[in-house]
Amino acid sequence: MKKKETDFSQYKILLVDDEEDIIEFLSYNLKKEGFRVFTAFDGEEAVKKAKKELPHLILMDIMMPKMDGMTAVEEIRKIGALDNTLIVFLTARAEDYSQIAGFEAGADDYVTKPVKPKVLVKRIMALLRRSRKTEVAPVERNDITIDPSGFFVMKGTEKITLPKKEFKLLHLLASKPNKVFRRDEIFHEIWGDDVIVGNRTIDVHIRKIREKLGIENIKTIKGVGYKYEE
């Protein structure tokens, strides 16, 4: 019998959807792989469950009663204890603007329905595996210190916490100043080859980093990629 590469019984997943059959179906497939699964049927319940259980990953629908998924994610991202929680939207809404809004709200990934459960489970596994890999050496650039051990950025005396993907993207670019990273390199390093994301994903994350840090060091190289310029 082939030995599993990772013991997923240590991971807690919160499933959020207002359709009970989807919750049951996904719960069954995730529990079969060893995940500890919690459920919620609307955005308000999702925020409460997230605070209580502190899941490693949240799989979130968008169109739900009481509080929609976008609002729920924005509320969850305000909770410090959930800074490192991965959030994946699973929704029937495939429009570009919906995906952009999802990443701006704080999502790490965006998956459109329908999706085969085996593919979704493998995608979740890939996200969790990559989330365990952290760089150890802080990066200092001018008045900015990027500390991977705590997933935060110091700008002068101000401590700034970024969502995990934004942090990893900033750390990647700043770790090799003036090097131009091609878009496919960035996708490979930050999202991995087995995770599919939209073409605008990097652009959204770069814009958020610039806004939050108030820096102009990250330069766009049209048609190629990005670099951290010193």
- Per-residue model confidence as pLDDT tens digits over 110-120: 888 888 888 88
Q: What is the pLDDT of residue 103?
A: 86
C-alpha to C-alpha distance for 6 and 66, rounded to whole angstroms: 37
CATH number of 8-132: 3.40.50.2300
Of 3-17, 56-70, 114-128, 196-210, the range with the lowest mean pLDDT is: 3-17
Sheet holding 225-228, edge to edge: 181-182, 225-228, 218-221
Cβ pair 66, 16 in contact under 8 A: no
Pairing of strands 225-228, 181-182: antiparallel
Cβ pair 99, 198 in contact under 8 A: yes
pTM for the model stands at: 0.61
- Per-residue model confidence as pLDDT tens digits over 69-98: 899 999 998 887 787 789 999 888 777 788
Q: How many CA atoms lie within 13 A of 61 on its CB side?
A: 24
**What tokens were used for 25?**
């179906």
> What ranges do the domains of the chain cover?
8-132, 139-228
When the candidates are 3.30.360.10, 3.30.420.40, 3.30.70.100, 1.10.10.10, the CATH number that belongs to 139-228 is 1.10.10.10
C-alpha to C-alpha distance for 111 and 94, rounded to whole angstroms: 8
- Alpha helices, DSSP H only, in the chain? 20-32, 43-53, 69-76, 96-105, 117-132, 164-175, 183-186, 201-213
